[in-house]
Amino acid sequence: MTLLAALLISGCSSQGKGSGEVELKLGFYSSAQSDEKMQELITKFQEKHPNIKIKTESSPYNQFFQKLDTQIAAESAPDIWLSDGVLVPKYAERGVLKDLTEWIQRDLKSEEYYGLDFNKDASGKYWGVPQGIQIAVLYYNKDMFDEAQVDYPIEDWTWDDLKAAAEKLTKDSNGKYAVDSSFDKNKISQYGLTFFSITEGWMTVLKSYGGGVLNDTLDQSIIHSPENKAALDWIVDGMQRELFPTPSDLKSFQSNMALFPSKAAAMRIGIYARTIDANNAGLNYDVSLLPMGPDGIRFSPVIANSWVINKKADGAVADAAWEWVKFWATEDEVQKEWASLGEAVPVKKSVANSEQFLNGSPANKQAFLDSFEFAGTLDVNAVWSEWVGKFNDNINRAFEGEIPVDQAMIQADQEVQKVLDEFYKK
């Protein structure tokens, strides 16, 4: 009898049929800056939906995703969680997420949002709703440009224009710029451009040169191409002349991201979240559109961090989870509150285009919004982190000047294809 009673009670609390109350397990990765705001928004949500009781589960980024995998295995994962944009396909293609296509088509007007499509897979299904969007632009330090008497970046720049400027902005410890004949490239004190990783670096260059890493269906490598060769040659040349730091140069700093805010580089390719570091460091900087490739192509990489719903959530719990997504996406108030943290571009166009978002530093925030016109994902698929690792392993050796670009492309192509085949050809 007691067992039966216990079963009934537990059944009620999770299904929410008895009292009409639903318990929703909400997971998110948190940081010191964002935690308080998230709790505030949860309280607001519960005031609006007194029948939904939210139980939160949060931890810092790395621990969150490590724990999540084991929780999914143990069937104790949250009903809804915040996923890094690059990890959505990892969970979607392994069958642990709910397909949100119908709900999104029913309740959200796609023309009101930036980037709903960034979570769409090759067959047109939606697996998440963006919580905030990261999009890349060119950051530049105005003081360094002024000091070197170089004109600020303009929107018509090609990558070669950028490199020409970088040459005038790269300085050695004797104060000589790279254009000077007595410039000592072994003693750099300031780089023209800092540049690293897939997001804040090489994918932009590859794609604006007409290349890329994966085909449209994201299961074939297209690394070995003349377009990629031209793009990589451009990068390697900049690194060999020490206008941009090589991967091992970057290891000298506490973090790959430290160069621009610590004034060791005059320009960087950076996502929206990097405005926080730059503002905190009190830099006199602004942003501009990313340069064009030789044929006038532009590309700005995007990561849409998104709310995703556990496939195992159903009935009242799934409905409650969707209510949370709607609350987050549709309510201007929520979008504004979250945008005030400065962590991401708001998903809702009306909020992103409001003064509240556009005001403040950097002055040209409009560049982030204009970049949506030529924005795209990072060829993200279920084995993203693995193929990025293989790509980096090989391309970094070319960046260091250890092997020629051609060899690096051939090896990267083979290794990336092997990773893809192993997952997709089963």
Residue 73 in the binding site for another protein (CB under 8 A): yes
For residue 37, state whether it binds another protein (rule: CB under 8 A).
Answer: no
* 386 near another protein, rule: CB under 8 A: yes
Told to check if 312 binds another protein by CB under 8 A, we report: no
Which residue in 147, 155, 393, 421 binds another protein (CB under 8 A)?
A: 393
Asked if 125 interacts with another protein (CB under 8 A), we say no
Residues forming beta bridges with residue 267, ordered by sequence position: 140, 193
Q: Which two tokens stand for residue 121?
A: 């897979």
CA-based radius of gyration for the chain: 23
Angstrom distance (rounded) from CA 68 to CA 266: 39
Q: Output the smallest distance, CB 265 to another protein, in A.
A: 14
Check: CB of residue 44 under 8 Å from CB of residue 38: no
CB of 187 to another protein, least distance (A): 9
Q: Is 96 in the site for another protein (CB under 8 A)?
A: yes
Using DSSP, state whether 375 is helix, strand or coil.
strand
Q: Does 11 bind another protein (CB under 8 A)?
A: no
CB of 186 to another protein, least distance (A): 8
For residue 388, the minimal CB distance to another protein (Å) is 6
The 3-state DSSP class for residue 314 equals coil
CA distance between the termini of the chain: 48
Segment contacting another protein (CB under 8 A): 142-150, 252-260, 267-275, 297-305? Answer: 252-260
**Shortest distance, position 229 Cβ to another protein, whole Å:** 21
Q: Which stretch binds another protein (CB under 8 A): 53-61, 68-76, 315-323, 344-352?
A: 68-76
Identify which range of 123-131, 225-233, 242-250, 334-342 contacts another protein by CB under 8 A.
242-250
Answer for which of 72, 205, 287, 317 binds another protein (CB under 8 A) is 72
Q: Are the C-beta atoms of 144 and 177 separated by less than 8 Å? A: no
Cβ-count burial 332-357 (b if 16+ within 10 Å, e if not): eebbeebbebbbbbbbbeebbebeeb
Number of H helices and number of E strands within the chain? 18, 10
Tokens of 411: 């090896």
Q: Among the candidate windows 161-169, 204-212, 343-351, 382-390, which touches another protein by CB under 8 A?
A: 382-390
Quote the CA–CA distance of 276 and 298 in Å, as a whole number: 25
Burial class (CB in 10 A: 0-12, 13-18, 19+), 279: middle
Told to check if 249 binds another protein by CB under 8 A, we report yes
Q: Least distance to another protein from the beta carbon of 255, Å? A: 7
| Residue closer to another protein (CB basis): 158 or 256 | 256
DSSP state of 152: P
Q: How far is the CB of 9 from another protein (least distance, A)?
A: 28
Q: Report the residue from 31, 33, 51, 248 that binds another protein according to the rule CB under 8 A.
A: 248
The DSSP secondary structure of 116-137, one letter per residue, reads GGGGB-TTS-B--EEEEEEEEE
Calpha distance 39→174 (Å, rounded):
51
- 239 makes contact with another protein (CB under 8 A): no
- From the list 28, 29, 91, 328, which residue makes contact with another protein (rule: CB under 8 A)? 91
Say which DSSP state 310 is in: B
Which residues are at the interface with another protein (CB under 8 A)? Answer: 66, 69-70, 72-73, 90-91, 94-96, 186, 197, 247-249, 251-252, 255-256, 383, 385-386, 388-389, 392-393, 396-397, 400, 402
